[in-house]
Amino acid sequence: MVITKVVMILSLWENNEVAELNLYKCKKCGWEIEAPSEGADILMDGGIAYFICNNCKNAFCRTFEFGNEDELDMSCPKCKSQDITGWKPEVICPKCGGELEDLGISCLVD
């Protein structure tokens, strides 16, 4: 269900929506993430939020529709752990604890 939604929203982005993703890179280990500068983004009828799994350090995003936020799947797609943190640029690197460097907008989809 959730994966279908993500694919749907991503194709929406490609066709209609403008999405600005910034590239953040760890100064120590080179871990990278492409994400909106706020850690979440608003789409036409919903939003997309970025998370980091505290268990396996996997970064992933989830989309949701307004009014259906409760249905958001709050578990890691990789290890199924529910120990996750909302990702924001000021969060340190989940792999090594290093500082993240904002490399600016890496892609602009319109």
- Rule CB under 5 A: which residues touch Zn ion? 26, 28-29, 31, 53, 55-56, 58, 76, 78-79, 81, 93, 95-96, 98
Rounded to a whole number of angstroms, the minimum distance from the CB of residue 92 to Zn ion is 8
62 vs 9: CA distance, rounded Å: 10
Rounded to a whole number of angstroms, the minimum distance from the CB of residue 81 to Zn ion is 5
Cβ closest to Zn ion, residue 3 vs residue 18 = 3
Inter-residue contact 21 to 89 (CB < 8 Å): no
Using alpha carbons, select from 94, 64, 92 the residue that is nearest to residue 81. Answer: 94
